[in-house]
Amino acid sequence: MDQELSTTFEGLKDEIVQFAKGAHGKILEQDERLIQIEQKLSHSTVDANGDSETKSLGAQFVEHEQVKTFLAAGLSRSGRVPVGSFFEKSTIFSGSGTTNPLPQRVPGIAVGRPRLRVRDALTVVPATSNVIEYAKLVLSSSTNAAQPQGYSTSPYQGEGSIKAESAMQFVLASMPVSTLAHWVPAAKQILDDNLVLQSFIDTQMKFWLAQYEESQLLNGGGGSGELDGLVHQATAYDTGLNVANDTKVDTVRHISTQLELAGYQATTIVLNPKDAALIDLIKTAVASGGQYVVGEPGSAGTLWNINVVSSPSMTTTKFVAFDGSRVFLYDRMSAILEASREHSDFFTRNLVALLCELREALVVPDPLAVVAGTFPS
């Protein structure tokens, strides 16, 4: 008999627990509804003219019966005081008494980032040392004497004759690997608590470094740890190719000719955005319809089959063009971002040093593969 009762009670146990949970849930649901009703009633009052007015959040709190009881009885805590949602208010009061709308923060941080494309036009090679050595042909001391066998014999005799001898002179050149870097201090709490800001700092640090890298690839002077840039290593544009009334489009064709005569192919030309725009906007005479000369606005960014790269780092009215297959960027260390508290008193001040750096060298074995100059005015 006892065994049967025990089994029966065990069977009812789960049902009783489920019933209790359901009843408790219903009670909480009813309590919540009552609180919502109290909120709606407490938010609105009627002024002396019988018009409805909305009380401030502070007024609702201090006038609530639960708070009055708490103050009168000297209790240690007031408990939960239902005063409604902050987001039901269109304005809140600041410490100075002025009204301000409750802000809605836009995700992320807006910042302009120009497109960086010069690096993409170069031949990137992994570097394994801090100095790049390469053989450089000295053209002024080199001679191409190729000709038919026995060409200078008289009477001509081909077979068995001495063949022509050419001359080549090389010099061993070297280019040190440069380190480009920058750092910023940041509060450890910000990095811990604000993942969006941390991500922005990471991205912006790397972008700033890449932006400076592009400036160095173009204009670096090769001294004081700088990269030896394209303009500095380039051959000067041959102004003897210019013709009266040349446009910038004509000049680009002359540049291509100069590179081709040196045995290279113009694959890329870098212009300032203003000069690139002036070229794009050249039109034929209005009488013939005023058509764009370079191409329609939606056409690809090429000129005489040369890729046009627009870079703010290029000086206005200046240009540099090159054969990308003969310009080498030796990449010793791609851009990295590191964080450390081992700087000055950063550990005791809860600060972190964020360091972003890269290591590379720009090598142009033959300056004739790069041409730099100024557009005719």
16 lies in some domain:
no
Q: Buried b vs exposed e over 154-185: b needs ≥16 C-beta within 10 Å?
A: eeeeeeeeeeeeeeeeeeeeebebbebeebee
pLDDT digits (tens, 9 = 90+) for 104-139: 656 667 778 888 999 999 999 999 999 999 988 787
Q: Give the residue among 237, 298, 244 at the shortest CA–CA distance from 266.
A: 237
58 lies in some domain:
yes
The size of the chain, in residues, is 377
Domain that holds residue 67: 34-43+53-89
Please give the C-alpha separations between residue 249 and each of 205, 272, 373, 376, in angstroms, as whole numbers. 37, 14, 14, 11
* pLDDT for the residue numbered 90: 36
Looking at the structure, do residues 126 and 262 belong to the same domain, yes or no?
A: yes
Looking at the structure, do residues 211 and 331 belong to the same domain, yes or no?
A: yes
113 lies in some domain:
no
192 lies in some domain:
yes
* pLDDT for the residue numbered 101: 53
317 lies in some domain:
yes
Cα 306 from Cα 304, distance rounded (Å): 5
* pLDDT for the residue numbered 78: 52
The average pLDDT across 321-326 equals 97
Cα 343 from Cα 353, distance rounded (Å): 7
Token digits for 316? 């206005």
Cis ω before 155 (30° cut-off from 0): yes
Please give the C-alpha separations between residue 56 and each of 41, 49, 100, 110, 217, in angstroms, as whole numbers. 14, 19, 13, 35, 61
Looking at the structure, do residues 144 and 193 belong to the same domain, yes or no?
A: no
Pairing of strands 123-126, 328-340: parallel
Token digits for 23? 């009843």
* pLDDT for the residue numbered 72: 64
211 lies in some domain:
yes
Cα 26 from Cα 80, distance rounded (Å): 20
Looking at the structure, do residues 193 and 74 belong to the same domain, yes or no?
A: no
Looking at the structure, do residues 81 and 163 belong to the same domain, yes or no?
A: no
* pLDDT for the residue numbered 99: 47
Looking at the structure, do residues 335 and 241 belong to the same domain, yes or no?
A: yes
Looking at the structure, do residues 324 and 352 belong to the same domain, yes or no?
A: yes
Q: Is the pLDDT of residue 59 over 60?
A: no
Give the model's confidence band at 367: pLDDT under 50 very low, under 70 low, under 90 confident, else very high.
very high
Q: Is the pLDDT of residue 357 over 90?
A: yes
Q: Is the pLDDT of residue 160 over 70?
A: yes
CATH number at residue 234: 3.30.2320.10
Report which listed range, 3-7, 109-113, 186-190, 231-235, is most confident: 231-235
Whether 39 contacts 83, CB under 8 Å: yes
* pLDDT for the residue numbered 93: 35
Cα 38 from Cα 266, distance rounded (Å): 79
The average pLDDT across 247-253 equals 96
Q: Considering the chain, what is the average pLDDT of its residues? A: 81
Q: Is the pLDDT of residue 24 over 90?
A: no
Looking at the structure, do residues 259 and 183 belong to the same domain, yes or no?
A: yes
223 lies in some domain:
yes
Q: Give the residue among 56, 74, 120, 60 at the shortest CA–CA distance from 268.
A: 120
Looking at the structure, do residues 209 and 262 belong to the same domain, yes or no?
A: yes
Looking at the structure, do residues 155 and 214 belong to the same domain, yes or no?
A: no
- Whole-model pTM? 0.68
Q: Is the pLDDT of residue 5 over 90?
A: no
- The number of folded domains in the chain is 3
Looking at the structure, do residues 126 and 224 belong to the same domain, yes or no?
A: yes
Looking at the structure, do residues 188 and 64 belong to the same domain, yes or no?
A: no
202 lies in some domain:
yes
